[in-house]
Structure 1
Amino acid sequence: MTFRIISADERLSAAENKTSLAIFGPPGVGKTTLLKSLPAEETVCLDLEAGMKSVQDWRGASIPVRSFADFRDLVVLIGGPDPAQHPKSWYGAEYHAWLQAQHRDSGIEAFLASKRIVFVDSITDLTRQAMAYARQQPEAFSERTGKPDVRGAYGLLGREVIQALKHLQHARGKTVIFVGVLEKVTDEFGTVTWQPQMEGSKTGRELPGIVDQVVSMQLFAHDAEGDWVLDETASERRLVCKSGNPWSLPAKDRSGRLDMTEPPDLGTLLARIDGRAPTKTPFAS
Structure 2
Amino acid sequence: MALRIVTADDRLSAAANKTTLVIVGESGAGKTTLVKALPEAETLFLDLEAGMKSVQDWRGDSIPIRCFEDMVVIASLIGGPNPAMPPTAFFSHEHYAHYAAQHPELVAMLARKSIIFVDSITDLTRQAMVWAKKQPEAFSEKSGKPDTRGAYGLLGREVIGLLKHLQHAPGKTVILVGILEKHTDEFGRTAWQPQMEGGKAGRELPGIVDQVITLALFSRDGDGALVFDPQRGTERRLVCTAGNRFGLPAKDRSGRLDETEPPDLRALLQKINSRPTKA
TM over 0.5: yes
Tell me which residue corresponds to 1:272: 271
> One-letter code of the match for 2:135?
Q
CA RMSD of aligned residues (A): 1.6
Tell me which residue corresponds to 2:252: 253
**Cα distance, 1:146 vs. partner?**
0.2
**Cα distance, 1:18 vs. partner?**
1.0
**Cα distance, 1:14 vs. partner?**
5.8
Greater shift, 200-209 or 84-93, is seen at 84-93
Contact preservation (8 Å) 2:46, 2:62:
yes
Contact preservation (8 Å) 1:11, 1:17:
no
How many percent of aligned residue pairs carry the same amino acid?
65
**Cα distance, 1:188 vs. partner?**
5.3
Evaluate the alpha carbon distance shift between residue 262 and residue 254 of structure 1 in structure 2; reply closer, same or farther with a 3 A threshold: same
Tell me which residue corresponds to 1:242: 241
Q: How does 1:1-80 map to 2 (within 5 A)?
A: 1-13=1-13, 17-80=17-80
Q: d(CA) in 1 for partners of 2:165 and 2:175?
A: 14
Contact preservation (8 Å) 1:242, 1:259:
yes
> One-letter code of the match for 1:160?
E
Q: How does 1:132-171 map to 2 (within 5 A)?
A: 132-171=130-169
Q: d(CA) in 2 for partners of 1:126 and 1:168?
A: 13
**Cα distance, 1:97 vs. partner?**
1.0
Counterpart of 1:87 in 2: which secondary structure? coil
Counterpart of 2:118 in 1: which secondary structure? strand
Q: d(CA) in 1 for partners of 2:210 and 2:274?
A: 14
Tell me which residue corresponds to 1:121: 119
Q: How does 1:170-181 map to 2 (within 5 A)?
A: 170-181=168-179
> One-letter code of the match for 2:147?
D
Q: d(CA) in 1 for partners of 2:186 and 2:2?
A: 56
**Cα distance, 1:2 vs. partner?**
2.4
**Cα distance, 1:266 vs. partner?**
0.5
Q: d(CA) in 2 for partners of 1:87 and 1:13?
A: 32
Counterpart of 2:17 in 1: which secondary structure? coil
TM-score, length of structure 1 as denominator length? 0.93
Counterpart of 2:24 in 1: which secondary structure? strand
**Cα distance, 1:88 vs. partner?**
2.7
Greater shift, 185-194 or 116-125, is seen at 185-194
**Cα distance, 1:16 vs. partner?**
6.3
Counterpart of 2:13 in 1: which secondary structure? coil
> One-letter code of the match for 1:197?
Q
Counterpart of 1:45 in 2: which secondary structure? strand
Contact preservation (8 Å) 2:217, 2:234:
yes
| 5+ residue gaps, structure 1 | 279-285
Contact preservation (8 Å) 1:271, 1:277:
no
Greater shift, 9-18 or 62-71, is seen at 9-18
Are 1:263 and 2:270 an aligned pair? no
> One-letter code of the match for 1:126?
L
> One-letter code of the match for 1:137?
Q
Q: d(CA) in 2 for partners of 1:255 and 1:112?
A: 26
Q: d(CA) in 2 for partners of 1:15 and 1:249?
A: 26
| 5+ residue gaps, structure 2 | none
Counterpart of 1:162 in 2: which secondary structure? helix
Contact preservation (8 Å) 2:16, 2:275:
no
Q: How does 1:89-100 map to 2 (within 5 A)?
A: 89-100=89-100
The superposition leaves residues 156-198 of structure 1 with CA deviations (integer Å, 9 ceiling, x where unpaired) of 0000000000001001000000000000223455543211100
> One-letter code of the match for 1:273?
I
Q: d(CA) in 2 for partners of 1:130 and 1:140?
A: 12
Contact preservation (8 Å) 2:181, 2:192:
yes
Counterpart of 1:12 in 2: which secondary structure? helix
Tell me which residue corresponds to 1:231: 229
Tell me which residue corresponds to 2:215: 217
Q: d(CA) in 2 for partners of 1:14 and 1:84?
A: 22
> One-letter code of the match for 2:100?
Q
Counterpart of 2:152 in 1: which secondary structure? helix
Evaluate the alpha carbon distance shift between residue 102 and residue 15 of structure 1 in structure 2; reply closer, same or farther with a 3 A threshold: farther
